[in-house]
Amino acid sequence: MLSEAVPVAIGLLCLCSVPAFAAEVPVVGAPFNPEAQLTPEQGRQYYDRYVTGDWWGWRTLLHNRGIDFNLNYFSEMATNFSGGKDNFSGYPKGVGQSWAYTDQALFGLDLDFQKMIGWEGGSFEFYVTKRTGTNLGNNINPDTLQLIQEVYGRGQTWRITSMWFKQKLFNDLLELKLGLMNMSQEFGGFYAFPFENLTFTAGITGNVAGYSMFTWPVSQWGTDLQWNVTKTLSMRVGVFAFNNYWISNNYFLRVDNPGGTSGAVIPFEIDWNPKLHICGKDLAGQWVLGAFGNTNHEETSGAAKSVLAGAPGAAPFLGSRSLGDYGVYGSIWQQVTAPDPHRPHTGLSAFAGSIWLDPQPSFQDFQVFTGLYYWAPWSKRPYDSCGIATGYNRVSGNVRKAQTEYIASHPHSGFGVQSDEFVEEIFYSFDVFRGANVQPDIQYIINPGGYKSATNIWVFGIQLSVPL
């Protein structure tokens, strides 16, 4: 299957990496710092990228006084037009072609205390999200290792996604953050691109180690201390309470610390944000290296997190609980071209990421991905974008061993052994109205669910993003 994945990935990458400029990109956008005080004209120009605009000047006025609202609607549709119709046990049988729609509404408030009351270096963030819909993976056989629709994850309910206070100290040398935070956004979140498959979205730690590093929109009580060593180099460490109850649908719109805390997650990360001299220009990048440990004394085995957990008579094969877990990760985002000096992030960017986890408690212990992203590929479509990515997901060896032993003792159970999965995705995003985007994409999933005998799956999807 690897030989099948490689030419597909290379072909798609080559297709998307060819620059599509017919002429120089026009000067469109906001050539100023949107975090600073805005003039009325700058405010109109900046908020023109939001569907509801500048609110007759009130949005700029509030911004200059330290109050910003972040409102957004985002949805993903997906349908499998080939594959997903196998008969492995543990998944729906005979469903065949299906489709699913899921969405998220976000309501956010950002406060800059320096602008509001002269409190230097102080800020506050409060975000609430509501997710609804269905997941294509629940309707196909087999389900994939990573979500086909990334926005479906972590339950269809209301959540307080962030509620934290940040204080910059000693001329921004240190940044201390306290409150309800999203761990995988604070640590391991590489530069985000709008892919639909979870393999390629921000939060690499939580996407793979989601049993330990909870992903957006789940938040946890914790603290995060960042040391800005230089203008381009920073180090950060965090301590977060660990409680499995936070990811349940019963814990929503609450700020208390429920009973059942069973450990602490301690991540450490080094972030380097250089400007590398490429083709005569200094181009931005974000290079990340990190690790985390979890002292959770009730961690289950990787096999207990697999489809095998629901199999009749599987208990003796699931293994025992372990004391904690750990992992290491890294990611790179690097701009390669910058054709428009007035809009410095246009052009081609390359990215890659990988994570390795303790194989005993993990269901999926390794992931690696890479891809290309092009913003403003056409002179007359300055806010369109396109992307291409290829990824590899691997099931832990302990899970494979448990499944092999179970199948040997239950030869007619219908279960299979999971190993590795390859994912390819390509998309084009159309800017349709003041920042609202419609984005069709194609996904090709090889060895879906990690089953080498499974039929490969083709998926067509559409994302809708509406910044309000």
Q: Could you give the CA distance from residue 116 to residue 434 in angstroms, rounded to a whole number?
A: 29
Which of 171-175, 216-220, 328-332, 372-376 has the weakest average pLDDT? Answer: 216-220
Question: Is residue 410 scored above 60 in pLDDT?
Answer: yes
Q: Is 18 exposed, middle or buried (0-12, 13-18, 19+ CB in 10 A)?
A: exposed
Q: Could you give the CA distance from residue 431 to residue 172 in angstroms, rounded to a whole number?
A: 36
Residue 97 CB neighbour total at 10 angstroms? 13
Q: Could you give the CA distance from residue 459 to residue 440 in angstroms, rounded to a whole number?
A: 11
Identity of the residue numbered 10: I
Confidence (pLDDT) at 189: 67
Cβ(384)–Cβ(376) below 8 Å: yes
Who has greater pLDDT, 409 or 92?
409
Who has greater pLDDT, 322 or 456?
456
List all residues 6 or more positions away from 45 whose beta carbon is below 8 Å from its beta carbon: 29, 30
Cβ(103)–Cβ(75) below 8 Å: yes
Question: Please, what is the average pLDDT of the chain?
Answer: 87
Residue 26, token pair as written in the block: 């026009």
Confidence (pLDDT) at 299: 76
Q: Tell me the per-residue pLDDT of 172-211, one tens digit each, with 9 for 90 and over.
A: 999 999 999 988 888 886 667 789 999 998 778 888 888 8
Give the angle 103-106-111 at the CA atoms, nearest 5°.
Answer: 165
CA 276, 277, 278, 284 torsion: positive or negative? positive
Instruction: Say how far residue 229 (Cα) sits from the centre of its chain.
Output: 27
Give the closest residue to 214 by CA, choosing from 102, 296, 98.
Answer: 296
Give the closest residue to 464 by CA, choosing from 421, 413, 430, 418.
Answer: 430
User: Which residues pair with residue 457 across a beta bridge?
Assistant: 445
List all residues 6 or more positions away from 80 whose beta carbon is below 8 Å from its beta carbon: 97, 98, 99, 136, 140, 457, 458, 459
Give the closest residue to 367 by CA, choosing from 190, 239, 221, 229.
Answer: 190
Q: Could you give the CA distance from residue 437 to residue 335 in angstroms, rounded to a whole number?
A: 22
Stretch 404-431: mean pLDDT: 95
The percent of residues in the chain predicted with pLDDT above 90, rounded, is 63
Q: Could you give the CA distance from residue 311 to residue 135 in angstroms, rounded to a whole number?
A: 22
3-state secondary structure of 150: helix
Who has greater pLDDT, 133 or 249?
133
What pTM does this model have? 0.89
Confidence (pLDDT) at 200: 93
